[in-house]
Structure 1
């Protein structure tokens, strides 16, 4: 069913438009090659991906700081792999990762096509919990910053999704009403529940194709947004 009253569309960035998994893997490959770290990227990612996810949940819930996240996800991963790594090396790797990550800019299939399709009839925006200094680079380097009227990060708002203040900040920047705004993202708590609690319409992007039973709109490919918009 078409959403007829929407004027503003808010996207999450990572795992929604920007291919975080592919770009992150490429960043680590470059870092390990540069430092001659003899570790298969597949073995590292098998451990790192769930560790990183855990830290982002803790960061979202204000249980760890940005610094704890940056260092902890690497330290814990190397510990699980039983690789002795000095605190200095982990600190250097955490800095290099933030530098290398936005230099790889693969987008998810259909991202540019759907943004071209939507921009004719809607104002497009970004709301992200990602780090301020990285997210703007991702948008610029991947060539999609031109599509978005506003970009709101959690560091700018002072709170993270699903807190209502980040949605309030984002909508105020665009003079948008919740009833005429739609949030699209891959996280059922941060993106979907957070936006719904603020009075926005939502579409859950089932990025990992888990086919979860949810009470609401969901898509598994970006092209499916045409069914609603």
Structure 2
């Protein structure tokens, strides 16, 4: 029986620019038509590449390895994405700002709670499980998101990389969370949206896990322990 659930925050309990996969597919189609001599892969290739660059870039920003303002990070992500698929540095730089602006207009960057988040957290508390937030985000901003959206009081512990000196996916980060929860890995479910920061380390440590895969409506679910929305978590957890 599971004794604790570890929740990632951004992209899981809520997020910035939610539903942006639709814009990424639009951009992929436009770029293919605009640069017929280049290959942008499949829509899935393009989405997965963007999500990977996005995760790495924000991780570097949090660690102060990427010294840019927030808007600059968004442009940087597009710049990296476009260069990866063969655009020159100059052309990528020109188009990165364009796509960053359009994507933000289509999917505003204010943080919004995921649909059904309160129902899922209430359900989890009713099961008697300890609930922890695991986040690499800046503590002050992350706590504000939880409090402003009425989520703070659901959690027994909040684990921020900034405070403990380790970050996901480092094993020492998860060891700290397990110690707070007083649980063995096999007694914990990790729920998150990042394969490299949430799902892969959970698999390596022997935790149960559920992958929140936002792009499932476009490219399908990656495996049988993944869902498209947080609201589907209780049903899947019942089968673990």
TM-score category by the smaller chain? 0.5 to 0.7
Is 2:66 aligned against 1:68? yes
How much has 1:74 moved relative to structure 2? 5.2
Structure 2 vs 1, CA of residues 73 and 224 (structure 1 numbering), >3 Å: closer, same or farther? same
Is 2:231 aligned against 1:223? yes
The aligned residue for residue 203 of structure 1 is 210
**How far apart are the structure 2 equivalents of 1:9 and 1:126?**
9
Q: Normalised by the size of structure 1, how large is the TM-score?
A: 0.68
The aligned residue for residue 94 of structure 2 is 80
Aligned residues of 1:52 and 1:73 also touching (Cα < 8 A): no
Is 2:179 aligned against 1:172? yes
Structure 2 vs 1, CA of residues 150 and 82 (structure 1 numbering), >3 Å: closer, same or farther? closer
Aligned residues of 2:169 and 2:198 also touching (Cα < 8 A): yes
**How far apart are the structure 2 equivalents of 1:70 and 1:63?**
7
Aligned residues of 1:59 and 1:69 also touching (Cα < 8 A): no
How much has 1:226 moved relative to structure 2? 2.1
Deviations 1:192-214 (CA, angstroms, capped at 9, x unpaired): 11112122111111122232433
The aligned residue for residue 56 of structure 1 is 55
Aligned residues of 2:116 and 2:230 also touching (Cα < 8 A): yes
The aligned residue for residue 149 of structure 1 is 156
How much has 1:52 moved relative to structure 2? 8.7
Unaligned runs of 5+ in 2: 28-46, 80-92, 98-108
Matches within 5 A, 1:43-192: 54=53, 56-58=55-57, 60=59, 65-66=63-64, 68=66, 70-71=68-69, 72-73=72-73, 76=76, 79-81=93-95, 104-121=110-127, 122-192=129-199
Aligned residues of 1:185 and 1:203 also touching (Cα < 8 A): yes
Q: Mean alpha-carbon deviation: is it higher for 69-78 or for 168-177?
A: 69-78
Q: Normalised by the size of structure 2, how large is the TM-score?
A: 0.65
Structure 2 vs 1, CA of residues 67 and 189 (structure 1 numbering), >3 Å: closer, same or farther? closer
- Work out the number of aligned pairs and report it: 187
How much has 1:188 moved relative to structure 2? 1.3
Superposition RMSD on alpha carbons, in Å? 3.5
Aligned residues of 1:179 and 1:199 also touching (Cα < 8 A): yes
Does the residue aligned with 2:14 lie in a helix, a strand or coil?
Answer: coil
Aligned residues of 2:121 and 2:154 also touching (Cα < 8 A): yes
Structure 2 vs 1, CA of residues 63 and 218 (structure 1 numbering), >3 Å: closer, same or farther? same
**How far apart are the structure 2 equivalents of 1:54 and 1:223?**
27
Unaligned runs of 5+ in 1: 25-41, 84-100
